[in-house]
Chains A and B, each alone.
Chain A
């Protein structure tokens, strides 16, 4: 089995290198890419899409297909982490630790003992004992809203500055990961459940693909946002700018959800019980 895998990897890697040989030399001014493709993008971005950031317009408009399948790759990564790691069998642990919050006393409850309800008085803690850390929790509570606002800003401001759906989505996902680290994994899962996150991941990809299908329904090409002009009530150029924004929001949702899925599954080794 291992030898078969090795041969396969060598074969595919060799094919990849063989294919890469046909590329023009790095930075070659005579290559077709720098001959007429790049100048076209640089000169026509403003008149075609009214997006000042060339990177964004190339990413989401000129090369929309590419980005759509990149989003699908991110979605696949999240789903794969679920299929490879998730364990549903709930093994009852030898003992559980609870903290009585008003006094700070830690209770150790052996297998079969009566487990207190999680409430304002009792809090379950991970099997590796951790002290109640007010400093970290307060800082997380203060910082997380600002991180999330910044993430939305990065998504919405991708037309004018570096940023966009991928970056903003990662920042938003990081805020949830910070919550899971600062508090604990169970509380994060209570806030953003597994089903909800998976649904959001699929929803993000669907927004992207759905925008393309909507363009087809408006009797135009797939992902040709200028067809949405009638919907927005603007001229086709502004419609392309708005279409890019919709697509970026879809990418942002998908990336955020995939980040959270990866963290949940990797940090708890698929048990979703206790993690970092």
Chain B
């Protein structure tokens, strides 16, 4: 069981690391928001499910409630995080920010 939890947690960490690198490395506003959204959804899903599994290990009713609360965090972040990214992209478009293009395309 512990091995499964560790693997899931590592998966989550991979997403978190990739997302953080993406936020720094991507060229412009819109493409940076893409890893920011992924990091919230996928990374959180994996790490939180690992936490939820870890909590219920000696199984009891109170532990189950705690793990349901952890799952609820994932549910709410899944609803709010994409909406937040959507609103930010919308604001960027309305403010007139042009998406980045390769320099060869601009000529």
Interface of A toward B, CB cutoff 8 Å? 130-131, 133, 135-136, 139, 142-143, 146
Contact = CB atoms under 8 A, between A and B. Distances in A.
Interface of B: 76, 79-80, 83, 86-87, 90, 94
A135 B86 contact: yes
Contacts of B86: 135-136
13 contacts: A130-B94, A131-B90, A131-B94, A133-B87, A133-B90, A135-B83, A135-B86, A136-B87, A139-B79, A139-B80, A142-B79, A143-B79, A146-B76
Which secondary structure characterizes the binding site on chain B?
A: helix
Q: Is the interface of A mostly helix, strand, loop or mixed?
A: helix
A136 B76 contact: no
B89 to A, nearest CB: 11
Instruction: In the A-B complex, list the 7 residue pairs whose CB atoms are closest, starting with the nearest.
Output: A139-B83, A135-B86, A136-B87, A135-B83, A136-B83, A139-B79, A143-B80
A197 to B, nearest CB: 26
Given A135-B83, A139-B83, 16 more contacts: A130-B94, A131-B90, A131-B94, A133-B87, A133-B90, A135-B86, A136-B83, A136-B86, A136-B87, A139-B79, A139-B80, A142-B79, A143-B76, A143-B79, A143-B80, A146-B76
Contacts of B83: 135-136, 139
A142 B94 CA distance: 25
A136 B94 CA distance: 15
Contacts of B87: 133, 136
Nearest to A137: B83
